[in-house]
Structure 1
Amino acid sequence: MTARDPVNASLPRVAAVGAGRMGRGIAIAFAYAGHRASLVDLRERSDEAWRKLHGEVIAEVESSLAGLASLGVMPLELVPEIVARIDVVRAADAPRALAAAELVFEGVPETLQAKREAFAQINAHCRDDAILTSTTSSILVTQIAEFVKRPERFLNIHWLNPAYVIPVVELSYHAGTDPAVLARAKALMEAIGKLPVVCGPTPGYIVPRLQALIMNEAARMIEEGAATAEEIDKATRYGLGLRFAALGVVEFIDFGGSDILHHASREMSASIDANRYKAPAILDKMMGEGRLGLKSGSGFYDYAGRDVAAYRSDVLLRTLGMLKHAGLWQPPAAATR
């Protein structure tokens, strides 16, 4: 990501509702990219409690940015300027901040009641043309859409922590979401250096749904005595993680072959757990059609007309880059006589 020196008044103003960790991360991400960002606290607080919260927010924002500077990814002297782009807004001033925002992120606690109450205020004060989003990680977009006055302008945008570092944001739309609103939301995310991925109203989005399976299985392996936490982490960082940093999960299936996954699923379904490892019907269908992936010319992707040798070389180059970054690539042994 790249910091812009001046505040650009033409950039859309954003508001993050909820002054917790996620709201703070979102405010940092937009302020870093040059936007004015309002971090809105909807809870009524005493003057003393408000001063305490305000101090905590500013301290965390400064610390987060200073941490980036210490790693050499931004100049330390830009920290005060970026912090100054973030307005921490008290409940009494929420109407003003919400009315000024083109893009609003709801990030209050994960209960339907809290979401309902937050959107009551957002509905009352936001512009009719504002894009409204929730950052929920556990509630379906269809459930929250019921609380929104103009549901066609609503979608979920799920950020991965730290929100100001991880590029992927998951956009989950519902049947009533205006396609133009979805496209605008994607464009706004891309403009601050994010990589938006889109999914329908599905539990767990993409990343949490996949990672929950992996994390639960790791915990089971420790529980069963199959391996220690240290060995599992070594295997995932430098085996599983390294390969999936070079190849997407579905790309990985095609690269090795859907038949490999089919046979591995059959064996582990029999030896570990039939429910956890049963191959999905789509895999059986692909096997029957001979769509095995790269080796057959089609799988989840179509490889017709693709330079397969160049593609394999590129994948190897990506993998070697990860190895070198991890300090695990070794030069060949010297010739012996």
Structure 2
Amino acid sequence: MAGSDREMVAAAGAGRMGRGIAVVFAYAGHPVTLVDLKPRDGADAVRVRDDALGEIRQTLTMLAGIGMIGAEAIEPILSRVTFAIADQAPAALARADVIFEGVPETIEAKQDAFALLSAHTRADAIIASTTSTMLSDELQGFVTPPERFLNAHWLNPAFLVPLVEISPGAKTDHDVTQRLVDLLEGIGKVPVVCKASPGFIVPRLQALCMNEAARLVEEGVASAEEIDKATRFGFGFRFAVLGVLEFIDWGGGDILYHADRYMSEALGTDRYTAPKIVEDNMQAGRIGLKTREGFLDYSDMDVAAYQRDRLAAFVGLLKHMGAARPPVV
């Protein structure tokens, strides 16, 4: 680690993702360098620097305006962010403990960026790509040594969404993965680790949901306004408290299985066919809370207390949404 008790972070690429990551780490007390890897003439380099730092200031001002930070915190946070133009990139990268790559989503741009990062960073520095489309196994070969590389997929806006999807490649050192998980947890993020697979976790889930919502409009089932209302107060409301697999266990995997069969037949599509694991769990008696085992293990849990806790969370969310009405007495 560079000479302080907080890791020095570099965001390689001065676009939206790099700027968001700079806000995240500066907010959490880390020194951050936003590195523009693209060579530019003097006037253009100054323009990009001013745009980037100006947007970061605007973001912090917005956060103060909505009560997330006090206005007095803007300057101290901003003071932790420095900007490096392409000529300054080698020196800035050499000081970094963790580098997040955020260049355009083309293989050529990634290859050029990782060649530069490999040449100018310490061998023990972590290099993480923020790509939303390319697998860590595809990109790992562009990094030297490859053991220090993995994907870290942030969800926008990065400075608000807690989740970061961590996807190590086949050659990623386990200690590198754990170091990045520890770093992200230390700044209040919620990292999840998944295999190198197209769509990671959240994009894969949300793509299905978004496409189905569009089909509902296309088929004339309901208006866009009604579908979005159903999403906020039914779909999203419940999944803000229960994870998707936890939700299956809550209601019962058997209910999902039979609902899938009905939907497949009624709509004449295989989009709703249950995966084999749902049927296997049924046959093994693992259908959720009712059997104390499903996708999750409830064998040593006080199920009644767990249910009360989740219902209390629902009530808290209803109050937050302004949707909890007092009873008529």
Interval containing the TM-score (normalised by the shorter chain): over 0.9
Aligned to 2:227: 232
Q: Deviations over 1:276-330 (max 9, x none)?
A: 1110000110111111100111111111121010011011001111111000001
Q: Does 1:131 find its partner at 2:126?
A: yes
Q: Are residues 1:102 and 2:97 paired?
A: yes
User: Distance between the aligned counterparts of 1:310 and 1:302, measured in 2?
Assistant: 15
Residue 171 of structure 2 is aligned to residue 176 of structure 1? yes
1:311 corresponds to: 306
Tell me, yes or no, if structure 1 residue 330 matches structure 2 residue 325.
Answer: yes
Who is 2:27 aligned against? Answer: 32
Q: Which amino acid aligns with 2:84?
A: V
Out of 122, 138, 143, the residue aligned to residue 143 of structure 1 is 138
Secondary structure of 2:159's aligned partner: coil
| Counterpart in the other structure of 2:254 | 259
Whichever residue aligns with residue 279 of structure 2, its letter is D
SS at match of 1:286: helix
- The structural deviation recorded for 1:181 is 0.8
> What number of residue pairs does the alignment pair up?
327
User: Out of 197, 204, 213, which is 1:218 matched to?
Assistant: 213
User: Hey, what's the Cα distance between the residues in 1 that align with 2:41 and 2:6?
Assistant: 34
Give the match for residue 4 of structure 1: none
**Corresponding residue SS for 2:270:** helix
SS in 2 for 1:275: coil
One-letter amino acid matched to 1:93: Q
| Aligned counterpart for 2:272 among listed residues 274, 277, 298 | 277
Amino acid in structure 2 at the alignment position of 1:15: A
**By how many angstroms is 1:246 displaced?**
0.8
Aligned position for 1:321? 316
Identity of aligned residues (%): 53
SS at match of 2:142: coil
1:163-182 deviations in Å (ceiling 9; x for gaps):
11111100001221111111
* Distance of 1:128 and 1:285 partners within structure 2: 46
1:15-39 C-alpha deviation (Å, 9 max, x unpaired): 0111000000001100001111011
Give distance in 2, aligned partners of 1:165 and 1:204: 21
Q: Distance in 2 between matches of 1:323 and 1:10?
A: 41
Report 1:70-81 matches (<5 A). 70-81=65-76
How many angstroms does 1:9 deviate by? Answer: 3.5
Give the CA deviation at 1:86: 0.8
Distance between the aligned counterparts of 1:259 and 1:327, measured in 2?
A: 34
Equivalent of residue 46 in structure 1, options 38, 41, 49? 41
Gaps in structure 2 of 5+ consecutive residues: none
Q: Structure 2 vs 1, CA of residues 258 and 224 (structure 1 numbering), >3 Å: closer, same or farther?
A: same
- Segments of 5+ residues of structure 1 without an aligned counterpart are 1-7
2:265 maps to a residue whose letter is A
- Offset, 1:88: 1.2
The Cα of 1:274 is off from its aligned counterpart by 2.8
Q: Secondary structure at the match of 2:34?
A: strand
Runs of 4+ in 1 over 4 A off after TM superposition: none
- Distance in 2 (CA, whole Å) between partners of 1:32 and 1:273 is 51
What's the secondary structure of 1:277's corresponding residue? Answer: coil
Instruction: Identify if the C-alpha distance between structure 1 residues 200 and 313 changes in structure 2 by more than 3 Å, giving closer, same or farther.
Output: same
Is the alpha carbon distance of 1:273 and 1:112 closer, same or farther for their aligned partners in structure 2, counting shifts above 3 Å?
farther
**C-alpha distance 22-280 of structure 1, shift in aligned 2 (>3 A):** same
Partner of 1:117: 112
Q: In 2, Cα distance between the equivalents of 1:310 and 1:73?
A: 33
Distance in 1 (alpha carbons) for counterparts of 2:200 and 2:18: 19
For the aligned residues, what is the CA RMSD? 1.0
Instruction: Give the Cα–Cα distance (whole angstroms) in 1 for the partners of residues 188 and 281 of structure 2.
Output: 36
Structure 1 window deviating more from structure 2 (151-160 vs 50-59): it is: 50-59
* 1:273 positional shift: 4.4
TM-score by length of 1: 0.95
Structure 1: how far apart are the matches of 2:267 and 2:80? 53
Q: Distance in 2 between matches of 1:213 and 1:305?
A: 34
- Distance in 1 (CA, whole Å) between partners of 2:259 and 2:109 is 44
Which amino acid letter does the alignment assign opposite residue 278 of structure 2?
Answer: L
2:150 maps to 1:159: no
Tell me the CA shift for residue 59 of structure 1.
1.3
Summarize deviations over 1:236-280 as a string: whole Å, max 9, x none. 111000000010111000000001110111111112243211100
